[in-house]
Amino acid sequence: MSDSLLHLRRQLETIGTLGGVVRTMKALAASNIGQYEDAVQSLQHYTNSVELGLAAYLRRGNISTDLIEQGDGRKPRQILVLAIGSDQGMVGAFNQKLATRMEEYLKNHQLSIHLVCIGERMRDELGAKGYEIARHLPTPTTVEAITSACNDILLDYAALSPSPTGMSTAMAGMVAGYNQLEGGARYTPSVEQILPLEQAWHQRLRERTWPTSALPEIWGPQEECLQALVREYLFISLFRACAESLASENSARLAAMQRAEKNIDEQREELQGLYHRKRQDNIDAELFDVTYSLSGEG
C-alpha cells in the first residue's frame, strides 16, 4: 500500500473516532436538555405555593416598601449581579451574546455591582470587558448541583444586606443574567430583576384570588413568615435561572454537535471517495505492470 493510501486510511480512522465522540456528546446534550427542562417545570408547583404564601401575607399587611420597586428613581445601594455562562466550549456564541446583553444592561443602569459569574467562559468574557469579578462559581453539572450553587449565591447576597432577605433601608438588589431557552436550539439572552420586586409582580399578587373558600392565616410572627417566604422566592428565582441557562447551554451544544456531525459525514464521504480512487489507481498500475511484464516475456 502506498504512503498516500496509508495517510488516507489514518485520516478515515481519525474521522471515525471524532464522529464517535461527537455522537456521544450529541446524545448527552439531548439527555441533559430534558432533565433541566423537567426541573424548570417541576419548580412551577413550588413557585405557586410560595406566591400563594406571599399573597396570604398581603391579605394581613403590606410587604416592606424596601422590597418593592418604587418607581421614583431610587436604586439599591448595591446590586448582586449574577451572570450564568458555561465552563465548556462547543456552544457557539452562547457566552458572548449574554456578555454583550449584560454589558448593555449595566451601562444603561449605572449600578454599583457585586458581580458573581457562573462558568469560566462567562468570567473571561466579562473580565475582558473590564468588569471586576467578585466571585466565580463552576457551572453545575447536575440538577442537584444547582441547589448548592444557589446557596452559595445567597450567602454572597446575605453578606451585602444587613438581613438574610435584605429587608431594610440598606437593602441590596439582585439581578440575574442568563440565556433563556425558547424552543429547538433557540435561546435569548435575558436579564431579570429579582429584587426589588417589580410593581407589576406586586400588584398581580395583591389581585390573586385564593383558590379555596377557607381564608389563609399566618402562623407565627409576621416578620419571620415574610423573611422565610422571600428567602424561598430568591432561591426559586436563582434555581430557575440556572436550570434555564443549563438547558440553553445543552441546546446550543446539541446544535453545534449536529453541525459538526454533518461536516464529519461530508469529510468522511469525500475521503472515502478519494481513498477508493487512489486504491483503484494503484490496482490499475499494478495490473499494467504485470501485463507489460508478461507481454515483454512473450
**Per residue in 59-86, pLDDT tens?**
776 666 566 666 555 566 688 999 999 9
Residue 28 lies in a domain: yes
Phi/psi at 186 (nearest 5 deg)? -95, 140
Tell me, yes or no, whether 271 lies in a domain: no
Mean pLDDT of all residues in the chain?
82
Paired sense of beta strands 113-118 and 173-183, if any: unpaired
What's the domain count of the chain? Answer: 1
Query: Which helix (H) or strand (E) element contains residue 135?
Result: strand 135-137
Q: Rounded to whole angstroms, how far apart are CA atoms 187 and 248?
A: 6
Q: Tell me what the mean pLDDT of segment 80-98 comes to.
A: 93
CA dist 192 and 82 (Å) reads: 10
Phi, psi dihedrals of residue 191, rounded to the nearest 5°: -120, 115
Cα(2)–Cα(66) distance, rounded to whole angstroms? 79
Q: Is residue 88 part of a domain?
A: yes
pLDDT, tens digit, 9 for 90 and up, residues 227-252: 888 889 999 999 999 999 999 999 88
Whole-angstrom Cα distance, residue 135 to residue 221? Answer: 35
Query: Residue 208 and residue 62: Cα distance in Å, rounded?
Result: 15
Check residue 138 and give its pLDDT. Answer: 96
In a domain, 13, yes or no: no
Is residue 12 predicted with pLDDT exceeding 90?
A: no
With 90 as the cut, is the pLDDT of residue 119 above it?
A: yes
Q: Supply the pLDDT for residue 167.
A: 44
Confidence of residue 189 (pLDDT cuts 50, 70, 90): very high
Higher pLDDT, 291 or 19: 19
State the average pLDDT over residues 137-143: 93
Range of the domain at 159: 23-212+219-255
Cell of 142: 447536575
- CATH number for the domain that contains residue 106: 3.40.1380.10
Do the domain assignments include residue 86?
A: yes
